[in-house]
Amino acid sequence: MKVSLFITCMCDIFSPHVGKHTVELLERFGCEVDFPSQQTCCGQPAFNSGYLTESKVAMKQMMRAFKDAEYVVGPSGSCVGMIREYPKIFAHDPEWREEAEKLASKSYEITQFLVNVLGVKDVGSTFEGKVTYHPSCHMTRILGVKNEPITLLKHIKGIELKELPIKEDCCGFGGTFAVKNSVISSEMASEKSEHVSETEAEYLVGGDMACLMNIGGRMQREGKKVKTLHITEILNHRE
């Protein structure tokens, strides 16, 4: 099966290791992974800030970049969620509507792809440690991916999964919200950090690097030892 990796600008620049784990995971399950180098950013920073015109040029670039892809898989619920919104955004644009629909229907977040397309439940990995999982908002509410990450994590050998209190609450990232409303944003991150501590987990795991950067940045500032990991880091973990 041919899979085109959608790295997301965030992982491209800040967390390339997440991309490596994603590629290795996909290859482990027999996918042939390519990287369409014309890809940039999904458009979300501009779209969510109200700059529709600016976001659309980014979206068009993405549609061009992945035109020939069979499947598009990315390590972010939020960015893949954005792509899945393209059909709505281009609904009245005869030139791009079809492309938007095509791209949306072949795009998947990595855990969603593993579970729902490849039919994998047990990736066969081992990870020793106490782990709590933060379900990021766009992953669960926009993309609708709730159970897939848990299914995969539950099958990891050695893992001790701890339920995060009020896990569905946003961590406070929210793109430009984190800067425009930084006071509120950091209060939200602090509460999340408290909840992580309550679980006594050593690792906070999530499917969106932006949220992990926010919670992790807060925990680090508080001097906590909890490590943040992208879910692919656990799924691809070998002894």
The CA distance from 67 to 133, in Å, is: 34
Closest separation in Å from C-beta 151 to other proteins: 21
Nearer to other proteins, 67 or 157 (CB): 67
Q: Least distance in Å: CB of 157 to other proteins?
A: 28
Q: At its nearest, how many Å lie between other proteins and the CB of residue 182? A: 4
Of residues 114 and 189, the one with the C-beta less far from other proteins: 189
Residue number, 64 or 162, with CB nearest to other proteins: 64
Any alpha helices (H) in 70-145, and if so which ranges? 77-84, 86-89, 97-106, 110-112, 137
| Separation between Cα atoms, residue 167 and residue 196, nearest integer Å | 9
Q: By three-state DSSP, how is residue 236 classified?
A: coil
Residue 189 vs 204, nearer CB to other proteins: 189
CB nearer other proteins, residue 70 or residue 98: 70
Amino acid (1-letter code) at residue 54: E
Please, what is the minimum distance in Å from the beta carbon of residue 78 to other proteins?
A: 10
The C-alpha angle with vertex 38 and arms to 235 and 175, in degrees rounded to 5, equals 60
For residue 41 the two structure tokens come to 């950013």
Q: From the CB of 48, what's the least distance to other proteins, in Å? A: 6
Q: From start to end of 75-218, where are the E strands?
A: 107-109, 126-134, 157-162, 203-206
The terminus-to-terminus CA distance of the chain in angstroms comes to 27
DSSP 8-state class, residue 130: E
Task: Choose between 156 and 233: whose C-beta lies nearer to other proteins.
Answer: 233
Pair of tokens at residue 133: 């999982």
Q: Return the number of other C-beta atoms located less than 10 Å from residue 95's C-beta.
A: 8
For the CB of residue 40, give the shortest distance to other proteins in the complex, in Å: 4
